[in-house]
Structure 1
Amino acid sequence: MTISASLLRAARPALLGAVGLTAFGTLGAFAQEAAAEAAPEFAKAADTAFIFNTLLFLLGGFLVMWMAAGFAMLEAGLVRSKNVSMQLLKNIALYSIAGLMYWLVGYSLMYVDVNGYFGTLWPYAFDPVGLEGADTAALLETGYSTASDWFFQMVFVATAASIVSGSLAERIKLWPFLIFVVVLTGFIYPIAGSWQWGGGWLSQMGFSDFAGSTLVHSVGGWAALAGALLLGARKGKYGPGGVVNALPGSSMPLATLGTFILWLGWFGFNGASQLAMGTIGDAADISRIFANTNLAAAGGVVAALILAQILYKRVDITFVLNGALAGLVSITAEPLTPGPFAAIVIGAIGGVIVVLTVPLLDKFKIDDVVGAIPVHLLAGIWGTIAVPITNPGTSFGVQLVGIIAYGVFTFVAALVVWAILKATMGMRVSEEEEMTGLDLAEIGVEAYPEFTASTVR
């Protein structure tokens, strides 16, 4: 607890009275009275910190929750018209599944009695109503409402699942995808998260990932990569002789709206990861995080814009949109310590990564519909490696250990789950269903019913 100068001044009579008590017995009563008056001030300070810390989690949480709308709009814009309803359904379903699984097992696995590698396996209990009969002293020592912390952490796991949704769009069946989300949000992500944010073995080594470039974004990216490899590319995406056929998305306005919503939500993602707003220092740090987050996103946009013009002689808006997101992912590992110029450079390198690696994936015939793997996996790796550049308290070697550990665990676990789903119920729709579009084939509701099948690309 931080004690303000005014509280120290209020306590000073008690301290002076206690010292003089041996010489002046009459001052003893005064000392006790002053101490009694000062104690409520300390309690008020704890109450105030508790309120502001809880408020930070709640405000940050609903901003990150709004990122679910951003992912939905981004994906709806980048898939073809015949698959838009499917993407919207997947996004609202995965957010709901993430919330249920993270309450049922995920939060406890990630944070409760972590033994170095994982926590416990039971549903998480929130604060009692009105704190009646609760140990308020213990809650004040924690510094925030447990329900606010659960809510803030829950929306992060939904973000990881959204990354997988966009990458595997337009050819995956609904139910295998949703079953994978159950495993990802209930087990894979929480176990991996416990290693760092739960105080596990990586945290003890000194690994640093402020808001989740690796814990959230690379974990989602590795899961998406494993699925993309087993699922295969969309029909018509790759032709003979290395030909790559463009399959344009349905709506650049929706994709742009989604990007701006994600950009807005990222202020909660990074800012509330300060985890405290009860002091002047915390409030100043949150402000700095907001500024660096915005600068990094802008750097990613401008770098992608310029590099696309240089390499391709024209600017592809999807590169620019993903450049913004890559800049945001890159700064997420350490949004506090960089200065403004460093934040811009970190974000700009993320934008460069997108422009260079999207075509590289096509060379390997890895079909990533929305560019999630370059944006979240590769930019997430870059952001995590970059932490020691501006934060001397971290080690490049330890950062690499963390990146490798998360990569191996998530990729292998996801690959096993995807392989089981593929062998048992199948992952992919039929070629005819893919041609018709998943809106009709899987869920029977078209996003744009005025279009006929023959006019939808």
Structure 2
Amino acid sequence: MTLPEGLNTVWVVLAAAMIVFMEGGFSLLEAGLVRTKNAVNVTMKIFVDLTFGALAYYAVGLGLMFGADHFGWFGWALPSGVTGPEGVPNAAYALFQIAFAMAVASIVSGAVAERMKFSAYIVVTMLVCGLIYPLSGHWIWSSGGWLSRLGMEDFAGSAAIHAMGGFSALALAAVLGPRRQRFGSDGEVNVFAPSNIPLASAGAFILWFGWFGFNAGSTLNALDVRLPMIALHTFLAASAGGAAAILVSMARFKVSDPSMAINGSLAGLVAITAGCAFVGTGASVVIGAVAGALVVWATGWVDRMKVDDPVGAVAVHGFGGLWGTVAVGLFDVRQGILTTGDAHLLLVQGLGAAVAAVWGFAAMFGIGALLDKIMGLRVAPDLEEQGLDLAFHGIPAYNELERFTNWPEGSEHGAAEDPEPVKSVLGMGMEPAPFDRG
């Protein structure tokens, strides 16, 4: 191995580790945005992505995605036969691609939080990582894929990962139906307050950090002269996305909504992922800002469609991914319509974005409907009311909260004086754990 090849290998392995660390960000983000009684469940679903999803992708998905091409639609090879570019050993390349696949599953995880059977989620994750993502990923990223041959540009996955994953999440959330009492009979949207905004913020900060591995790592080359600019564009787009979401939420809601600030920054990251290596610095700010404003509108649109997405995954990843993919056709410094006047790339990018979204939605809707008939996707109403932490995992997220139920009547913290916190944090009648883990 030459010195450049060694440097590339180290860089790809480190970047893969950063992307794997993003799963911790997904876990904290989702745990903070759902209700307390479901925080353990969303964390366990991230473990499913890291285990079942990773193994399914390595065993099947990697070969479908990067194996010898068959008519531009799918490939096939054993994992050992998938070789990395830039002199990167196939083991390092496989690790990097596994990390990407897990991220797709984690997008779906948030949108179906608080009402899906844990066993059904395992099956869905394996199908996402082993089949749905690899097929469309092959079209976009394999050298023989039909969208790749058309000239589509998706540097790190605004379409292949985020738009596809976001619209897969939309489909599965639609099949599942909304959480109980989420939408009123007269059409109003009932807000379920997040359990812990600081926790969700910490998750967003970890995702932001890991995104440098996501985007800059996609060079697969530690000596690529574009690497620092890619990292800068990634950061600026996230900043612009968060700033735009804060300003729009202040204008619309008269408060700076923290969930919009979080999702606006993440939408900026999603949107710049396709073009971080192809656009200028000013364009990266514009792309991020539009994504941040778009996430506020898209969140409302999802609610009006009566689709329940507890963490805003569809708005962030689905719509942010669509915008970011199309934006490459606008701002690409070599082929963009605004920089060269040539519309060809814009048309290709629009086609690629639409294909990724439609494929993700259609494939997941069909699989979701089939699995619903075979094994059932949704938990029983009483389990949903109790919370999935105790139902599926036998332990609540915050054991100290059980003490609220045991205060003696008439004490300074007695139930007669302070009933609402008990009702809100313990999930409207959820029984305490049958044993004390404190």
| TM-score normalized with structure 1 length | 0.84
CA–CA distance in 2 between the matches of 1:409 and 1:351? 25
2:38 is aligned, of 72, 75, 83, to 83
CA–CA distance in 1 between the matches of 2:310 and 2:64? 32
Between stretches 76-85 and 360-369, larger displacement belongs to 360-369
Q: Are the equivalent residues in 1 in contact too, given 2:48–2:125 (CA < 8 A)?
A: no
Is 1:405 aligned to residue 355 of structure 2?
yes
CA–CA distance in 2 between the matches of 1:309 and 1:451? 34
CA–CA distance in 2 between the matches of 1:373 and 1:253? 22
Q: Deviations over 1:325-384 (max 9, x none)?
A: 000001001102322221111101010011111112111111100000000000100000
Q: Are the equivalent residues in 1 in contact too, given 2:152–2:348 (CA < 8 A)?
A: yes
2:161 is aligned, of 202, 210, 216, to 216
CA–CA distance in 1 between the matches of 2:85 and 2:106? 35
Deviation at 1:94, TM superposition (A): 1.4
1:236 is aligned, of 181, 206, 209, to 181
Q: Are the equivalent residues in 2 in contact too, given 1:47–1:140 (CA < 8 A)?
A: no
CA RMSD of aligned residues (A): 1.7
In structure 2, the partner of 1:33 is none
In structure 1, the partner of 2:9 is 54
CA–CA distance in 1 between the matches of 2:244 and 2:376? 41
Is 1:456 aligned to residue 426 of structure 2?
yes
CA–CA distance in 2 between the matches of 1:340 and 1:208? 18
Deviation at 1:141, TM superposition (A): 8.2
The 5-angstrom pairing of residues 13-412 of structure 1 reads: 47-115=2-70, 116-120=72-76, 123-125=78-80, 143-199=87-143, 200-278=145-223, 282=224, 284-391=225-332, 392-393=334-335, 395-412=345-362
Structure 2: gaps of 5 or more residues? 337-344, 403-421, 428-438
In structure 2, the partner of 1:10 is none
CA–CA distance in 1 between the matches of 2:367 and 2:189? 29
Q: Are residues 298 and 141 of structure 1, via their aligned partners in 2, closer, same or farther at CA, if it must alter by over 3 Å?
A: closer
Q: Secondary structure at the match of 1:106?
A: helix
1:433 is aligned, of 368, 383, 400, to 383
Q: Are the equivalent residues in 2 in contact too, given 1:126–1:147 (CA < 8 A)?
A: no
CA–CA distance in 1 between the matches of 2:98 and 2:273? 17
Q: Secondary structure at the match of 2:69?
A: coil
CA–CA distance in 1 between the matches of 2:358 and 2:233? 30
Structure 1: gaps of 5 or more residues? 1-45, 128-138
Between stretches 260-269 and 393-402, larger displacement belongs to 393-402
Q: Deviations over 1:58-96 (max 9, x none)?
A: 111001000000000000000100001101111012111
Deviation at 1:193, TM superposition (A): 0.7
Q: Are the equivalent residues in 1 in contact too, given 2:86–2:220 (CA < 8 A)?
A: no
Deviation at 1:49, TM superposition (A): 1.8
AA aligned to 1:156 is F
Q: Deviations over 1:211-230 (max 9, x none)?
A: 00010111111211110111
The number of residue pairs the alignment matches comes to: 396
CA–CA distance in 1 between the matches of 2:325 and 2:75? 24
Deviation at 1:428, TM superposition (A): 0.5
CA–CA distance in 1 between the matches of 2:261 and 2:90? 39
CA–CA distance in 1 between the matches of 2:171 and 2:251? 32
CA–CA distance in 2 between the matches of 1:361 and 1:389? 26
AA aligned to 1:55 is V
Q: Are the equivalent residues in 1 in contact too, given 2:54–2:98 (CA < 8 A)?
A: yes
Q: Secondary structure at the match of 1:210?
A: coil
CA–CA distance in 1 between the matches of 2:290 and 2:161? 19
What percentage of residue pairs aligned between the two structures are identical? 39
AA aligned to 2:17 is F
Q: Are the equivalent residues in 2 in contact too, given 1:50–1:140 (CA < 8 A)?
A: no
Q: Deviations over 1:294-332 (max 9, x none)?
A: 000000011011111011111110000000000000100
Deviation at 1:195, TM superposition (A): 0.9
Q: Are the equivalent residues in 1 in contact too, given 2:158–2:322 (CA < 8 A)?
A: yes
| TM-score normalized with structure 2 length | 0.87
Larger Rg: 1
